Chains A and B, each alone.
Chain A
Amino acid sequence: MKISLIWEHLYMVFWAVVFSLMAGLPLGVLTYFYPKARKAILWVVDLFQTIPSLALLGIIMVFLGAGKVTVITGLTLYSLLPIVRNTYLGLREVDPALKEAARGMGMSRGYQLLHVELPLASPVIFTGIRIAAVNAVGTAVFAIFVGGGGLGSMLYNGIRIQNMSMILKGTGVLMLMAILFDFGMGRVEVFLNRKTAGKSRVSAGYAD
């Protein structure tokens, strides 16, 4: 097994999550600010999720050609839903009393968003990122069909030459990767939760 496959895989997942965060966070804020846009935005990001991942990558390949760009674009669209939805939910669930206090004290809308609402919504938003990342690790397997490489090639080759140990190795690495993502980012969530709840000695990685 080549380490480079793992890096390739991580590379695609990483950029997909980064791009979907860059797009999803503003979209989430928009859905929160503008009730009229809410339904439309949530409907569209929901729609991306209903397209089978392999089909989505295929459709994008028609436009962008084979390669990592196609994979990253597909994964980005795929990751939008959890991020947009959790951003919206996180902002919505901030205690109304805090929102009123912020407004009543004379914070502008943007200031209130940046200094009160986003920090307090950050644990929920981060949950969205975690879900997106863990999903992307699995979905990125399909990269092999659109020329993106990654750990999908191990599975694909393993199936083709009926090499069970190869399949299992690839699967094991993918599972481990997903578990590590889930666990590591879960720790960050605990940290954020403690921070927004206002505990003095915040330390990442320790929950009690």
Chain B
Amino acid sequence: MIQFEHVVKRYGKNTILHDLNFTIPDGQFVVLIGPSGCGKTTSLKMINRLIEPDEGRILIDGEDYAGKNPVNLRRHIGYVIQQIGLFPNMTVAQNISVVPRLLGQDKAACDKKVHELLEMVDLPYEQYAHKYPNELSGGQQQRIGVLRALAASPPIVLMDEPFGALDPMTREVLQDEVKRLQRKLHKTIVFVTHDMGEALKMADIIIFMNGGQIEQMAPPEKMLEAPASDLVRSFLGKHQLSDSNPLYVEDFMRTNPYTVDFHRGVLECAEKMARSGVDTLLVTDDDDHYLGTVSIRDIKLKGREAGSIEPLISTEVRTVCLGDDAQESVNYLLTSGESYVVVLRPDQTVAGIITKNSMAKVVANTLWGDDK
């Protein structure tokens, strides 16, 4: 258990942490997040006393280590940093063995530990133990960085933006791996990040900090459900699927649908449909007001005698107006079997259409991010 009690930190006149109070229970994956300069890294480094508080105390399992030699404390707290920080003059095995050696374990015990840990992340001992860090990829290096932190089986592991410098694919893999290791080994992990996606994925508890204070401390689910402030909400951003900000039809709409002027002839219409690969067109009048739709089926059935599309205009397709709640239209499309809804501006001109496709795209973007 890690307890912060009235912790204050100042650098000159700047107060970095204002009376910080929180408790991290054992075995929890706690993520510190917030805008840069919010004090998250400072808080983290106070746990292993790389930074000392100006006021207040930090208790680890009820014990205040202030005033004692920090070296011993640090050997029992794993530490992973963003820059990885593997010692380039030592092999993988030597790097992993650093803390066990500091604790006086003999070579055989260290070697056994190295075997065991490398096996856990599927890096064969024979192939990797005697390599030097710069012979490994960034992802492999940070894997070793994590193993190095775990080598002496510390109950607590601190991670300071450990995956910040990795490419997105590698980051995903390592996130999964660390989460898996944490579940398996029941470590208390304190993890700093500025990536809300990472926080939501990894955390049991998220501590959202701002300006040296805690804005909100909650499990991810709770934070998504009820963000404590606008700042938290903006950080949650795309990850949030709550009804607190309703979605409007324009959020689901595809703009620039195919339209046709009602004076046009049927053949021209049919040709345009074929060219654009659609089976209906939206019909507008001279002032671009929406009149209805015309479909290829009607043209085939009655087009010959009509000549112009005007008699073929159908007004059966449902129309909605910009600013309408999207839920109704979405439900309609999902249940009616119709393929689209027309969205009109207040002046009855066409703004766009909602199709099942455009809906699916929005949902996908919300879930996995907007990759253009």
CB distance from B51 to the nearest CB of A (A): 11
Interface string of B59-86 (1 = CB under 8 A from A): 0000000000011111111010101111
* Given A97-B81, A100-B50, A198-B132: A105 touches B89 (CB 8 Å cut-off): no
Q: Which residues of B contact A120 (CB under 8 A)?
A: 87-89
Is the beta-carbon distance between A200 and B135 smaller than 8 angstroms? yes
Decide: A98 near B87, CB < 8 A? Known: A103-B74, A200-B132: yes
Q: Within 8 Å CB of A200, what residues of B?
A: 130-132, 135
* Contact residues, B75-126 vs A (CB, 8 A): 75-77, 79, 81, 83-91, 98-99, 102
A104: CB under 8 A from chain B?
Answer: yes
- Please tell me if B133 contacts chain A, counting CB pairs below 8 Å: yes
Which residues does chain A contribute within 8 Å of B73, judged by CB atoms?
106
* Residues of A with C-beta under 8 A to B48: 104
Residues of the B chain whose Cβ atoms lie less than 8 Å from the Cβ of A115: 87
Size range of the interface on B? 20 to 34
**Chain A contacts for B75, CB-based, 8 A:** 105-106
A105 to B89, CA, bound (A): 17
Q: Mark B132-164, 1 if CB is under 8 A from A, else 0.
A: 111100000000000010000000001000000
**CB-contacts of A78-136 with B (<8 A):** 95, 97-98, 100-108, 111, 115-116, 119-120
Q: Is the CB of B81 within 8 A of A105?
A: no
A195 CB-CB contact with B under 8 Å: yes
Taking a contact as CB atoms closer than 8 A, the residue among B85, B89, B134 that contacts A101 in the complex is: B85
> Majority SS of interface residues in chain A?
helix
Contacts of A160 in B (CB 8 A): none
Of B83, B88, B148, the residue contacting A196 (CB under 8 A) is B88
Give the CA-CA distance A103 to B49 in the complex, in Å. 10
Which residues of chain A come closer than 8 Å to B131, judged between CB atoms? 200
Expressed in whole angstroms, the Cα–Cα distance for A125 and B48 within the complex equals 32
| A106 in contact with B132 given A97-B84, A101-B85, A120-B89 (CB within 8 Å) | no
Q: Tell me the minimal C-beta distance from A102 to chain B in angstroms.
A: 8
User: How far apart sit A97 and B158, CA to CA, in the bound complex (Å)?
Assistant: 15
Nearest chain B CB to A197 CB, angstrom units:
6
Instruction: Out of B72, B79, B88, B158, name the residue touching A198 (CB < 8 Å).
Output: B88
CA distance A200 to B135 in the complex (A): 8
Q: In the bound complex, do residue B89 and residue A106 qualify as a contact, i.e. CB atoms below 8 Å apart?
A: no
A36 beta carbon closer than 8 Å to chain B: no
Expressed in whole angstroms, the Cα–Cα distance for A116 and B98 within the complex equals: 11
Give, as a whole number of angstroms, the nearest-CB distance from B176 to chain A.
24
Instruction: List chain A residues, Cβ under 8 A from B71.
Output: 106-108
Provide the bound-state CA to CA distance between A184 and B220, in Å: 62
| A199 CB contact (under 8 Å) in B50, B81, B132 | B132
The reply to whether A97 and B83 contact each other, CB–CB distance below 8 Å, is yes
Determine whether the beta carbon of A106 is less than 8 Å from that of B85.
Answer: no
Known: A100-B81, A104-B48, A106-B71. A196 touches B89 (CB 8 A): yes
| CB-CB nearest in chain A for B131 | A200
State whether A101 and B133 are in contact (beta carbons under 8 Å apart), knowing that A106-B99, A107-B102 are contacts in the complex: no
Distance A103 CA – B72 CA, assembled complex (angstroms): 11
CB neighbours of B87 from chain A (8 A): 98, 101-102, 115-116, 120
In whole angstroms, what is the CA distance A104 to B152 when docked?
Answer: 14
Once the chains bind, are A100 and B85 in contact (CB under 8 Å)?
A: yes
Cα–Cα, bound, A77→B59 (Å): 52
| Complex: chain A residue closest to B83, CB-CB | A97
| CA A61 to CA B69, docked complex, whole Å | 50
Q: How far is the CB of B151 from chain A (nearest CB, A)?
A: 9
With known contacts A97-B83, A198-B132, A198-B135, A103–B50 Cβ distance under 8 A: yes
Residue of A nearest to B45 (CB): A104
- Are B102 and A106 in contact, CB atoms less than 8 angstroms apart? yes
| Bound complex: CA A18 to CA B290 (Å) | 95
**For residue B133, which residue of chain A has the nearest CB?**
A198
- Which chain A residue shows the least CB distance to B85? A101
Q: Name the distance in Å between A97's Cβ and chain B's nearest Cβ.
A: 3
Question: Interface of B with A (CB < 8 Å)?
Answer: 45, 48, 50, 70-77, 79, 81, 83-91, 98-99, 102, 130-135, 148, 158
A-B contact pairs, 13 of them (CB 8 A): A103-B50, A104-B158, A105-B75, A105-B79, A106-B71, A106-B74, A106-B75, A106-B77, A107-B98, A108-B71, A198-B88, A198-B90, A199-B134
Given contacts A101-B81, A105-B102, 19 further A-B contacts (CB under 8 A): A97-B83, A100-B81, A101-B79, A101-B85, A102-B87, A103-B74, A104-B50, A104-B74, A105-B74, A105-B79, A105-B98, A106-B71, A106-B73, A106-B76, A106-B102, A120-B88, A195-B89, A198-B90, A199-B132
Q: Which residues of A contact B (CB under 8 A)?
A: 95, 97-98, 100-108, 111, 115-116, 119-120, 195-200
Among all A-B residue pairs, the 10 with the closest Cβ atoms: A198-B132, A101-B85, A106-B74, A106-B75, A97-B83, A104-B79, A198-B88, A97-B85, A196-B89, A119-B89
